[in-house]
Chains A and B, each alone.
Chain A
Amino acid sequence: MTTNILLVDDTRTVLMFEKMMLRGTGFNIDMAMSGLQALEKIDKCKPDLILLDIMMPEMNGVEFCRRLRSSERFADIPVIIVTTKGDANMRDLAFQAGCNDFMTKPVQKTELLAKISNYIS
């Protein structure tokens, strides 16, 4: 069974980079450039994991995460925050919103894969 991962970031460069990192892992990758777009995507195809940026237009990562957790259908999807904002306040905010894990940019492949493997067997 294929594992679906949704990458959410408003920067194309980051999306390309994350997609490239996960190349060859066998995951099925989908991408969204805002929280709203991500909500539309998961409604069509429920992903097994979401890599989520925080600073995004329309709907930021924290708001997206809150909405996800309040939804009965999608509340169980693991969410890993990937952001440039590594300070303690942002970390607290992200975990309060319901994210499962938190990592900062620049991203290292080994770290990213290790975090993903914690939620996908």
Chain B
Amino acid sequence: MKNDNEVTADLIERFQNSKEFTQELVTEYENLRRAVVQLRVEKRQLEQELCGTEVGSLKVRIKQLEFDLAAQHDKNQEMAANYAIADRERREFEERYLDVENQNSDLVNLFIAAQQLHSTIDYAEVITILKDVVINMVGSEDFAIYMRDTRDDRARLIAHHGIEHRCMDSIASGDIRSTQTLSTGKMWVAKLAPGQREHLNGQPIACIPLVADGVVFGVITIYSILTQKDGFKPLDYELFELLSNQAATALMGARLNALHKEQEDDLDNFVTMLGALPKPAPLDDPRISSLEDLILW
């Protein structure tokens, strides 16, 4: 067991150690405080430096960028407006181009129809071409072509397509439209409802007069249009006008040509017949002295 002196010495030593430790802690604390103060000073200095240089320039840069952005935005708006104008012009141009192409196509239709109608003077061929034009260009497969017969002034059927079931030698008595067109020379076209292709009662939907030199000598009567066709379009009216005149003159020309050929053939036959007759007797022949001699000769 320790005596009192030894215990006292031990305590004193412990106190001494505690004192040293406490002093060390105080010293360390002082050092740390100094470091904190130093850092605060440095921080303040850095902040001042930044305010003076970097942040300032960055703020200026940001303002510049904002200005540029606004300018760019204005430019974008201007470009968008220009683009809208250009786009509208492009669409207008496209529409115009389509219009021109369609007009061109229509003109080709008309040109080919007229050119083909006048490409021959053969009557049968003109009829075939006329039918082709009505089928392929007008778009009808039910129609009849009547021509006035000069002998009795009645309109007779000269060609038809797809109407065998109601085909008649001349215009049906109930067909007022065709009769009217033939007498007045005025074209008549029915106003068809959307999707309508023909009249339910079998009446015509269009009557086109065949007029040459101011004289109406026939009529094209259309009874229906093709399934895919939605009514008559402006081109159809132009084709009707063209047919009214060009088909009429082509038909008339071919008819006259046929008539001319017939007359030519008749004349040839007559000349041949004349050639076959015996030659007239030479009246100054000394062998013929009486009527009997002449007959015998």
* Contact yes or no, B108 A21, CB < 8 A: yes
* Contact yes or no, A84 B101, CB < 8 A: no
Answer whether residue B129 sits at the interface, using C-beta atoms and an 8 A cutoff: yes
How would residues 2 to 18 of chain A score, 1 for a CB under 8 Å from any chain B CB and 0 otherwise?
00000000011110110
* Contact yes or no, B132 A104, CB < 8 A: no
Shortest Cβ distance from B29 into chain A, in angstroms?
A: 88
Q: Which of A105-121 contact B (CB under 8 A)?
A: 105-106, 108-110
Choice from B105, B116, B135, B228 contacting A109 with Cβ under 8 Å = B105
Q: Which of B110-143 contact A (CB under 8 A)?
A: 111-113, 115-116, 129, 132-133, 135-139, 141
Q: Which residue of A lies closest to B236 (CB)?
A: A106
Q: Which residue of A lies closest to B97 (CB)?
A: A110
Answer whether residue B104 sits at the interface, using C-beta atoms and an 8 A cutoff: yes
How would residues 73 to 91 of chain A score, 1 for a CB under 8 Å from any chain B CB and 0 otherwise?
0000000000010110000
Q: How far is the CA of A87 from the CA of B104 in the complex (A)?
A: 28
Choice from A11, A104, A109 contacting B108 with Cβ under 8 Å = A109
Q: Which of B126-184 contact A (CB under 8 A)?
A: 129, 132-133, 135-139, 141
* Contact yes or no, B102 A110, CB < 8 A: yes
* Contact yes or no, A105 B132, CB < 8 A: no
Answer whether residue B37 sits at the interface, using C-beta atoms and an 8 A cutoff: no
* Contact yes or no, A108 B139, CB < 8 A: no
Residues of B within 8 A of A45 (CB): none
Residues of B within 8 A of A84 (CB): 135-136, 139, 141, 226
Q: Which of B214-255 contact A (CB under 8 A)?
A: 226-229, 235
* Contact yes or no, B116 A20, CB < 8 A: no
* Contact yes or no, B138 A13, CB < 8 A: no
Interface size (B, Cβ < 8 Å)? 26
Choice from B98, B132, B226 contacting A14 with Cβ under 8 Å = B132
Q: How far is the CA of A109 from the CA of B132 in the complex (A)?
A: 19
Shortest Cβ distance from B188 into chain A, in angstroms?
A: 21
Answer whether residue B203 sits at the interface, using C-beta atoms and an 8 A cutoff: no
* Contact yes or no, A106 B138, CB < 8 A: yes
Residues of A within 8 A of B136 (CB): 11, 13-14, 17, 84, 105-106
Q: Which of B25-42 contact A (CB under 8 A)?
A: none
Q: Which residue of B lies closest to A9 (CB)?
A: B136
Choice from A13, A108, A110 contacting B116 with Cβ under 8 Å = A13
* Contact yes or no, A17 B227, CB < 8 A: no
Q: A17-B137, A109-B104, A110-B101 are in contact. Are A11 and B115 (CB under 8 A)?
A: no
Residues of A within 8 A of B98 (CB): 110
Residues of B within 8 A of A11 (CB): 132, 135-136
Residues of B within 8 A of A109 (CB): 101-102, 104-105, 108
Choice from A17, A86, A110 contacting B112 with Cβ under 8 Å = A17
How would residues 50 to 70 of chain B score, 1 for a CB under 8 Å from any chain A CB and 0 otherwise?
000000000000000000000
Q: A84-B135, A106-B137 are in contact. Are A16 and B115 (CB under 8 A)?
A: yes
Residues of B within 8 A of A16 (CB): 112, 115-116
Q: Which of A1-39 contact B (CB under 8 A)?
A: 11-14, 16-17, 20-21
Most buried by A among B101, B135, B136, B141: B136
Shortest Cβ distance from B33 into chain A, in angstroms?
A: 85
Shortest Cβ distance from A114 into chain B, in angstroms?
A: 11
Q: How far is the CA of A1 from the CA of B219 in the complex (A)?
A: 50
Hey, which bits of chain B sit against chain A, CB under 8 A? Answer: 98, 101-102, 104-105, 108-109, 111-113, 115-116, 129, 132-133, 135-139, 141, 226-229, 235
Q: 9 more A-B contacts (CB under 8 A) besides A16-B116, A84-B136, A84-B226?
A: A11-B135, A14-B132, A14-B136, A17-B137, A20-B112, A87-B227, A105-B135, A106-B229, A109-B108
A sample of 9 inter-chain contacts (CB < 8 A) reads: A11-B132, A12-B129, A13-B116, A16-B115, A106-B109, A108-B105, A109-B102, A110-B101, A110-B102
